[in-house]
Structure 1
Amino acid sequence: MNKKTKALLALLDGQPVIPVLKISDVAHAVPLARALARGGLPAIEITLRTGHALEAIRRAAAEVPEAIVGAGTILNPKQFEEAEKAGAKFIVSPGITPALLAESAGSEVPLLPGAITPGEIMAARDAGLDFLKFFPAEQAGGASFLKALASPIADVIFCPTGGVSAKNAMDYLRLPNVACVGGSWVAPDNMVNEGRWGEIEALAREASTLGKPA
């Protein structure tokens, strides 16, 4: 296990679910991060899918010290650099490119890149990456596909994201090569837009116990 994988796993600290967030109103960033952290999910991924994403990362990182704010949907070195400057503690990408690998190599911020095929996973492994995002998880074969990879590529672990929900999260978390899952169900759009932070906290608290002894 490489140094950056160890650093990222230490940040996640056994958290079974990483909330994957698309923030349309930057005013939601701080109360949302607080609600999720109170519920036991301090590590969050704010995706760069809206024009407010970088400011949302900046505010959550600065104003919610108990949160561990990551940036998702990073597609190129410029976005990596911008997210790092905004305060992101980890970077998530849907795939791997030579340019992203080069940017990551020059940064202390760990990269969690996506890979779905055996070839992509092996290429990532050759590049020294042994903790990968499996995305889009359900569409790429789901838990049964990842289970099949556990023996031939036993030294790579995954965070499946994409189609993961409260109903199927444990299918992934039971696997020996899965460290956590990413999902948006803990912060539904309607609850976020209506400021229902108590309900989101409750969903986070429930998710934070997945895979852990009762």
Structure 2
Amino acid sequence: MTVRHDLHPTPTGIVAIVRLSSPPPDEILTALLEGGTPALEVTLTTPGAEETIAHWRERGSSALIGAGTVRTPDDARRAVRAGAQFLVTPTTSPTVLRVSAQAGVPVLCGALTPTEIDTAWQHGAAAVKVFPIDALGGPAYVKALRAPLHDVPLVPTGGIDASAARTYAALGCHAVGVGSSLVSDALAENRDWDALRTRAADLTAAWQNGTIRDHPGKDPR
């Protein structure tokens, strides 16, 4: 039986992907929160990822804090122990989904083709990360997917800027994942927190504008 992982909130809107070559400073969390970002994904490939997730959860963040690049059951267990509120995978792994189901933590499964997307959904993914979307036609591809897979919450990821975020919101997507165009090693090294705050605010506003424009009366939060 398929178990839908909705015991905890599933990220909607902008999901900031924190993938760095050194441990993320707290200023990243602060700037993203001030920019209105509703969810942060700290990839397990980032040094100190588990400690960062635990620390940011302890700070009482108003955003959901999740773990990304979760590929194995052990990855999932470590992320859950750290306090991750959602998991993001690059592929669809039934064993990862089983571990998350036992913990009651939702998973955004990575998939690309219609078969992969439906397989992830049927196996219990809370939403499906369509990646790498920029390599396969972007909004046109998502629009084609939405027709037969209208009930699957899609999270396009790859090459997302403010304009794309607005377009995906208008197409009825569940969220978008935004990586290096938002949080990057260069930005962290330069400690340009004002730029990060501005980028986050622009993305959040674009998503809300796309949601309101094409879904009047819908709460964009």
Instruction: Tell me the TM-score normalized by structure 1.
Output: 0.87
Q: Of 160, 164, 175, which aligns to 1:180?
A: 175
Q: In the superposition, relative to structure 1, how do residues 24 and 64 fare at CA in structure 2: closer, same or farther (>3 Å)?
A: farther
**Map of 1:136 onto structure 2:** 132
Fraction of identical pairs, as percent: 32
**Map of 1:17 onto structure 2:** 14
Number of equivalences: 207
| Residue 53, structure 1, aligned to residue 54, structure 2 | no
Q: How does 1:1-214 map to 2 (within 5 A)?
A: 4-5=5-6, 7-9=8-10, 12=11, 14=12, 16-26=13-23, 28-129=24-125, 131-176=127-172, 178-184=173-179, 185-213=181-209
Separation in structure 1 between the aligned mates of residue 160 and residue 14 of structure 2, nearest angstrom: 10
Separation in structure 1 between the aligned mates of residue 84 and residue 47 of structure 2, nearest angstrom: 16
> Aligned to 2:67, what secondary structure does the other structure show?
strand
**Map of 2:219 onto structure 1:** none
Deviation at 1:36, TM superposition (A): 0.3
Deviates more, 1:204-213 or 1:147-156: 204-213
Q: Deviations over 1:171-204 (max 9, x none)?
A: 322212x111111222233221222222211211
Do 2:20 and 2:184's aligned partners in 1 also have CA atoms closer than 8 Å? no
Separation in structure 2 between the aligned mates of residue 86 and residue 60 of structure 1, nearest angstrom: 10
Cα-Cα RMSD: 2.1
Deviation at 1:168, TM superposition (A): 2.7
Do 1:29 and 1:59's aligned partners in 2 also have CA atoms closer than 8 Å? no
> Aligned to 2:15, what secondary structure does the other structure show?
strand
Do 1:61 and 1:67's aligned partners in 2 also have CA atoms closer than 8 Å? no
> Aligned to 2:111, what secondary structure does the other structure show?
coil
Q: Which residue identity lines up with residue 4 of structure 1 in the other structure? A: H
Separation in structure 1 between the aligned mates of residue 62 and residue 117 of structure 2, nearest angstrom: 33
- Runs (5+) with no aligned partner, structure 2: 213-221
Q: In the superposition, relative to structure 1, how do residues 43 and 180 fare at CA in structure 2: closer, same or farther (>3 Å)?
A: same
Do 2:94 and 2:123's aligned partners in 1 also have CA atoms closer than 8 Å? no
Deviation at 1:156, TM superposition (A): 0.6
Q: Following superposition, which runs of at least 4 residues in structure 1 exceed 6 angstroms of deviation?
A: none
Deviation at 1:126, TM superposition (A): 2.2
Q: Deviations over 1:20-45 (max 9, x none)?
A: 1113332x332211110111014101
> Aligned to 2:20, what secondary structure does the other structure show?
coil
